């Protein structure tokens, strides 16, 4: 950890970079043309079928469920598949479960493992600051334990569930996971077996060496992570709030719940990620608390999860992680 309290000056305008405009009422206008939404077309030759199901209409939350096409078309298929609940990235402020790259990742993972994937459309900040996204995550898990939704009832093994998130989604998995670990009896018959944190979005007030070194990183410059946290955290909170900085105060006492229930954690990191020092700090802290964490290092930067081809090596690791725990359930 560097002793410097402030970074070198950024040459990047974070609002232009993120393609957002602040409004007087505290909301933002999102103008990103980079993220095309995927359309649901059952006739399209994709590796998985998908459909959207509403969760909480007052909050406009919903899920996109992915089912491997081979399984859906096999009338003799009678086994149950592992269940992965996926949370997209976007700094807690941007993007959607309907984004094309998120759709492609979930579709490919569903087909390759194979498994049922439930991709969550959670509320975004600053219109809905944290812990709104964590609340939405826990609500989805409680919905799944009782839903009569056909694909989940017929194909998903509720006793073999995993929470997986990319970047901001990894942050959601970390915090919602701690909540849910204290509620395991109330989740039955749903049983979570592991957490998958892909390039999790963490931060802090004191700059790390990787943040200072990559202050103007082309994929995730430091000024944009600062702005995203400013928009996502409760009003008046700084980046040493527990939602942002997982090691503050020695780490949350709720991590003890994850240790008690015996969930395993897969943590993926990219060597060129501006946040890698944050992630390694969190990894070491969890290990020191006795949690069982499997680490994986990829090449690339923080945006690696946005590109399915760059996700290829990680998908292999995820498949191994899920399959080994699924076999243990059997």
Active site residues: 167, 273, 302
Q: CA 306, 309, 314: angle at the middle one, nearest 5?
A: 80
Cβ atoms of residues 137 and 59 within 8 Å: no
Distances (CA, A) of 152 to 103, 149, 316: 18, 6, 24
User: How far lies 276's CA from each of 71, 88, 210, 230, in Å?
Assistant: 37, 19, 7, 20
Give which of 109, 106, 92 is closest to 51, Cα–Cα. 106
3-state secondary structure 90-147: CCCCCCCCCEHHHHHHHHHHHHHCCCEEEEEECCCCCCCCCCHHHHHHHHHHHHHHHC
Residue 263: in which H helix or E strand, if any? none
Cα dihedral 186, 285, 275, 293 sign:
negative
């Amino acid at each position: 950890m560097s002793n410097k309290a402030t970074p070198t000056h950024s040459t990047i305008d974070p609002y232009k970079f993120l393609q957002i405009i602040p409004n007087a009422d505290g909301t933002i206008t999102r103008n990103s043309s980079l993220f095309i939404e995927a359309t649901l077309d059952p006739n399209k030759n994709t590796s998985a079928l998908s459909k959207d199901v509403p969760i909480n209409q007052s909050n406009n939350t919903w899920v996109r469920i992915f089912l491997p096409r081979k399984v859906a078309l096999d009338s003799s298929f009678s086994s149950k598949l592992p269940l992965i609940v996926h949370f997209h990235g976007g700094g807690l402020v941007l993007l959607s479960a309907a984004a094309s790259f998120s759709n492609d990742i979930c579709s490919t993972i569903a087909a390759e493992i194979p498994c049922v994937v439930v991709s969550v459309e959670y509320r975004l900040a600053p219109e809905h600051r944290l812990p709104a996204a964590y609340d939405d995550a826990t609500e989805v898990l409680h919905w799944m334990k009782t839903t009569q939704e056909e694909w989940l009832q017929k194909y998903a093994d509720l006793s073999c569930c995993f929470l997986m998130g990319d970047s901001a989604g990894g942050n959601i998995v970390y915090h919602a996971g701690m909540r849910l670990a204290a509620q395991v009896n109330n989740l039955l018959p749903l049983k979570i077996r592991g957490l998958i944190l892909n390039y999790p979005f963490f931060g802090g007030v004191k700059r790390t060496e990787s943040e200072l070194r990559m202050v103007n990183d082309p994929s995730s410059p430091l000024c944009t992570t600062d702005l995203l946290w400013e928009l996502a955290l409760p009003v008046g909170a700084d980046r040493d709030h527990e939602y942002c900085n997982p090691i503050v105060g020695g780490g949350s006492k709720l991590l003890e719940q994850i240790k008690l229930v015996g969930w395993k954690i897969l943590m993926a990191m990219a060597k060129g990620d501006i946040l890698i020092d944050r992630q390694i700090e969190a990894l070491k802290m969890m290990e020191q608390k006795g949690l069982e964490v499997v680490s994986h290092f990829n090449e690339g930067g923080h945006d690696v999860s946005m590109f399915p081809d760059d996700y290829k090596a990680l998908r292999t690791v995820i498949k191994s992680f899920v399959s080994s725990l699924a076999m243990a359930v059997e």
